[in-house]
Chain A
Amino acid sequence: MQLIIYCETRKDLEKALDCSISEVILGHKAFSRFGRLGNEEFSQMSQYAKELGLRIIFEWDILMTEKDFLRAVQALKHIDISLIDCWRVQDPGALEYVMNHFAHPVQYICETGNHNLSALQMWKELVGKRLDRLILSVELPKAKLKEYREKLNIPLEILGFGPILLFYTPRSLLTPLIDKKSDEFIEAVGTSEESPHKGFPLIQNSHGTFMFHIKEQCLLDLCHELRLIKLDYLRIDLRQSSMSYLSSIAQLSLNFNERKFEEFKCEYPKSVMKGYFRVNKSDVLFPKLKNYRLRARDNSYVGEVIEVQKDKHLVISIKNKNFSLKNGDTLIIHNTEGKSKTLTVKSLKNSRYQEVEKIENAVAVINFSGGIQPRSQIFI
């Protein structure tokens, strides 16, 4: 398993080499969400990276509307890409463009969604032989990473250390708060009393506004497991902290040592976590969100209670078109507290409040029974 790192300065490139990292991501400010390199700097960094024998990845991970895309294509003409080895893209439009305009290998970022094998196979087949690797979501647990590595049989990469991006908008959300020009780089921290988590890092730049988790992703103590499942690349992102931590990170990834890891965590300015690496249960709360009234509807469904007049009557709306309600019928009513009650129809009136023998697909007034509320569901 190889490490891969973002580099913004010549020193970063040297540090990468010192840590036996052979592949670096260069972020041009017009193409990379957090890129800081201008045309000249990109050219110089590319040349130096090549001198050091490093493989260069051009990161194009911004999302673009049609006009943004046309601007990006124009900007690309002024960037020296002669030394790059590979494209890294997220917008499917960028993928289509580099596939048809360049011959380099392509790394496709599948970090947004793509949480199933079929989706990943679709991207693999689309890019074909030029696919250098897929970059997978950090929401995928280890078991899935293992399965995908075995079944896809292509190089895979995940974020091993660095900030977890939670939110990406093209709108400038911080400038209204400080009255600055919208393309300036602004850093802030956001805290809401409505969230149990405090201190979300925020960044605004020319590409929009970004929010990150209060803790960073850290899989350094799990590198042996990642090697066992044959993960190919582990990405290290120190753009929001410092490249001075790279040596420790590289050492820990190679030769994990519990004591050194604890020392490192004390020294590192942010808290870290494993995220969803062990398990992803982000759908277990859904049954509680679900309207339980709907869980058991089938052909026995009659309708819904729409009014309750205590000691007087229940009014029901018969919604089953094939059902005819008569005196003597026995109804099963699931009340809004989830309890079931049985009720025998002893009195049956229509909406004019006239006694009738049967009612179909309309409102019916029947005898009262306690413990039943409006919106209770009726079955036979």
Chain B
Amino acid sequence: MTNKTPELLAPAGSLEKLKVSLLYGADAVYCGGQKFGLRAAADNLTYDELREGVEFAHQLDKKVYVVLNSFLHDSDLEQLPEFISFLEEIQIDAVIVSDPGVIKTVKENSQIDIHLSTQASCLNTHAAKIWKSWGVKRLILGREVSIEEAGAIKKSSGLEVELFIHGSMCMAYSGNCVISNYTQGRDSNRGGCAHSCRFEYSVDFKNWESVETRKAYFMSSKDLNGIALLEEFARHGIDSVKIEGRMKSSLYAGSVSKVYREALDYYKEKGHFYSEQMKDWEAEMNKFSHRAYTEASLVEKAGEDSIFDERQSALSQDYVSAAEVVEAIEGEHILLQVRKAFVPGDELELLPFRGPAVKLNSEKILDISNQEIEKTRPTTLVKVPYTKGAQELNIVRKKSYAANNLL
């Protein structure tokens, strides 16, 4: 028996991350071109890279959605039709849009499906009716919407619904924060967010004189983690679950996609999540950089415990990204591009696209000219003995120093 599961949608901040996310199990990826998205500082994809990314995804029978979710000004809109025509030519699967003017422009210039960005803060059935009347096919609902509410919106609107399931969260209603605009001169709703909500603030209380000034990261949200709620997503018919993180590493994109893929596949086959593996999946979520986790508003409204009142440096991380596989020649070597230095004998794990992590033999490390070396350096290439199953773009991770110290 096959049980219906939501689409797994992962971030693609670059062409490499697009491939990594898909190879590690995402059904679809979302990425930006050089303009019109909300991540001005991300690598984003050039025209050629978008074309290659779409071809790559479609060969795997997977999808690519392109973000056009800035709150565009008139001058931005003038340049949009050409880009839309290009997107239609390369046959992307949908655009992600938040502005009614962009919806109009997309409809006038193409037949591309339109997904409403979370940036539009669509939160209820009545709002859904308006977006539907404008031709939107899917709603990426606000992060304030619970899974149950999302199910109700889907049922009453007849539209596809998508919810964030993992990653960093805006504390504000999306699209309702302009701190960067006024304090840094960078339009947060056109890709210039300076993350002022992650700052530490000293807070003076005006009408509670007895309360002392407090220093706190009071506007910073914990990271979303909905792995334990996957059954709820499936039960309420959520069409797509989305992983945040176009600015994050390949280790993140690949690792999170892999965990959710395994969990969704388990559900597809078994129809439940009563699995010993749930503990493993949850443990895997701690093996890359993240803030403390919360389920935010997926079940109940996000409460006080959803605030991440700590420095950014307090991010949890059991493993670090050590390297990426550049080339794997069976019976010979694996060529690695080093991200974080390691030495012979370090505990390295190769994360295959499917199946459990495998130990990598790192007893003997060679440089590219086949000379044995005693220590690797970031941005260099090294060879380790071939390990079965290794493939180009696999991620290699290393237990972090902090985690080792805890053992």
| Residue interface bits B40-67, CB-to-A below 8 A is 1, else 0 | 1111101011000000000000000000
Contact B304 A195 (CB under 8 A): no
Contact A197 B368 (CB under 8 A): no
Contact B337 A306 (CB under 8 A): yes
Contact B326 A282 (CB under 8 A): no
Q: Is B404 an interface residue (CB 8 A)?
A: no
Residues of A with C-beta under 8 A to B306: 171
Nearest-Cβ distance from residue A125 to partner chain B, whole angstroms: 10
Contact A353 B368 (CB under 8 A): yes
Contact B211 A96 (CB under 8 A): no
A275 to B196, CA, bound (A): 19
Residue of B nearest to A294 (CB): B46
9-residue interface stretch from B119-127, B253-261, B280-288: B119-127
Q: How large is the interface on B (under 10, 10 to 19, 20 to 34, 35 or more residues)?
A: 35 or more
Residue of B nearest to A72 (CB): B124
Contact A315 B368 (CB under 8 A): yes
Contact B123 A91 (CB under 8 A): yes
Q: Is B205 an interface residue (CB 8 A)?
A: yes
Residue of A nearest to B186 (CB): A285
Residues of A with C-beta under 8 A to B203: 174, 177, 188-190, 202
Q: Is A191 an interface residue (CB 8 A)?
A: yes
| Residue interface bits A276-293, CB-to-B below 8 A is 1, else 0 | 000011111110011100
| Residue interface bits A295-323, CB-to-B below 8 A is 1, else 0 | 00111010000110100110101000000
Contact B207 A119 (CB under 8 A): no
Q: Is A342 an interface residue (CB 8 A)?
A: no
| Residue interface bits B121-154, CB-to-A below 8 A is 1, else 0 | 1111111111101100000001011100100110
Contact B307 A171 (CB under 8 A): yes
Q: Is B299 an interface residue (CB 8 A)?
A: no
Contact A113 B99 (CB under 8 A): yes
Contact A173 B134 (CB under 8 A): no
A312 to B122, CA, bound (A): 57
Residues of A with C-beta under 8 A to B103: 122
**A118-B101, A169-B171, A177-B216 as given contacts; A285 in contact with B129, CB under 8 Å:** no
Residue of B nearest to A365 (CB): B368
For B74, give its contact among A116, A123, A282 (CB under 8 Å).
A116
Residues of A with C-beta under 8 A to B196: 192, 194-195
Residues of B with C-beta under 8 A to A65: 123-124, 142, 144-146, 149, 297
Contact B173 A92 (CB under 8 A): no
Q: Which of B149, B182, B327 has the largest number of chain A CB atoms within 10 A?
A: B182
Q: Is A97 an interface residue (CB 8 A)?
A: yes
Residues of B with C-beta under 8 A to A167: 171-172, 176-179, 197, 219
Query: How many residues on the A side are at the interface (Cβ–Cβ under 8 A)?
Result: 94
Contact B369 A286 (CB under 8 A): no
Q: Is B189 an interface residue (CB 8 A)?
A: yes
Residues of B with C-beta under 8 A to A195: 183, 196, 199
Contact B101 A116 (CB under 8 A): yes
Residue of B nearest to A286 (CB): B40
Residues of A with C-beta under 8 A to B303: 171-172
A24 to B46, CA, bound (A): 51
A188 to B205, CA, bound (A): 4
Contact B123 A93 (CB under 8 A): yes
Contact A64 B187 (CB under 8 A): no
Nearest-Cβ distance from residue A350 to partner chain B, whole angstroms: 10
Which residues of A (333-354) have their CB < 8 Å from a CB of B? 351-353
Q: Which of A66, A122, A123, A307 has the largest number of chain B CB atoms within 10 A?
A: A66
Q: Is A186 an interface residue (CB 8 A)?
A: yes
Contact A177 B214 (CB under 8 A): yes
Residues of A with C-beta under 8 A to B100: 114, 118-119, 122-123
A190 to B205, CA, bound (A): 9
Q: Is B190 an interface residue (CB 8 A)?
A: yes
Residue of A nearest to B326 (CB): A363
Nearest-Cβ distance from residue B216 to partner chain A, whole angstroms: 6
Residues of B with C-beta under 8 A to A299: 48
| Residue interface bits A355-372, CB-to-B below 8 A is 1, else 0 | 000000011010000000
Residue of A nearest to B335 (CB): A351
Residues of B with C-beta under 8 A to A92: 122, 126-127, 130-131
Contact B202 A169 (CB under 8 A): no
A115 to B152, CA, bound (A): 31
Nearest-Cβ distance from residue B305 to partner chain A, whole angstroms: 9
Nearest-Cβ distance from residue B369 to partner chain A, whole angstroms: 5
For A187, give its contact among B49, B146, B205 (CB under 8 Å).
B205
| Residue interface bits A39-74, CB-to-B below 8 A is 1, else 0 | 000000000000000000000000111111100000
A196 to B184, CA, bound (A): 9
Contact B304 A172 (CB under 8 A): yes
Q: Which of B44, B48, B201, B221 has the largest number of chain A CB atoms within 10 A?
A: B201
**A92-B126, A178-B211 as given contacts; A112 in contact with B175, CB under 8 Å:** yes
Q: Is B301 an interface residue (CB 8 A)?
A: yes
Which residues of A (154-211) have their CB < 8 Å from a CB of B? 164-178, 180, 182, 185-197, 200, 202, 211
Q: Which of A169, A186, A195, A299 has the largest number of chain B CB atoms within 10 A?
A: A169
A80 to B306, CA, bound (A): 37
Residues of B with C-beta under 8 A to A95: 126, 130
Residues of A with C-beta under 8 A to B46: 294, 297
**A173-B307, A306-B326 as given contacts; A93 in contact with B190, CB under 8 Å:** no
**A65-B145, A188-B204, A294-B43 as given contacts; A285 in contact with B192, CB under 8 Å:** yes
Residue of A nearest to B72 (CB): A116
A191 to B129, CA, bound (A): 41
Q: Is B34 an interface residue (CB 8 A)?
A: yes
Residues of A with C-beta under 8 A to B380: 307, 309
Q: Is B274 an interface residue (CB 8 A)?
A: no
A186 to B209, CA, bound (A): 12
A333 to B162, CA, bound (A): 43
Residues of B with C-beta under 8 A to A362: 327
A-B contacts, 8 listed (Cβ < 8 Å):
A93-B125, A123-B100, A171-B303, A178-B214, A283-B73, A291-B44, A315-B381, A362-B327
Q: A177-B205, A307-B379 are in contact. List 14 more A-B contacts (CB 8 A).
A: A64-B124, A65-B124, A66-B123, A69-B126, A93-B127, A167-B197, A169-B219, A173-B307, A194-B199, A211-B219, A282-B192, A307-B368, A309-B380, A315-B381
4 closest A-B pairs (Cβ-Cβ)? A118-B101, A93-B126, A113-B71, A119-B101
A residues neighboring B (CB under 8 Å): 63-69, 91-97, 112-123, 126, 139, 144, 164-178, 180, 182, 185-197, 200, 202, 211, 213, 275, 280-286, 289-291, 294, 297-299, 301, 306-307, 309, 312-313, 315, 317, 351-353, 362-363, 365, 374-375
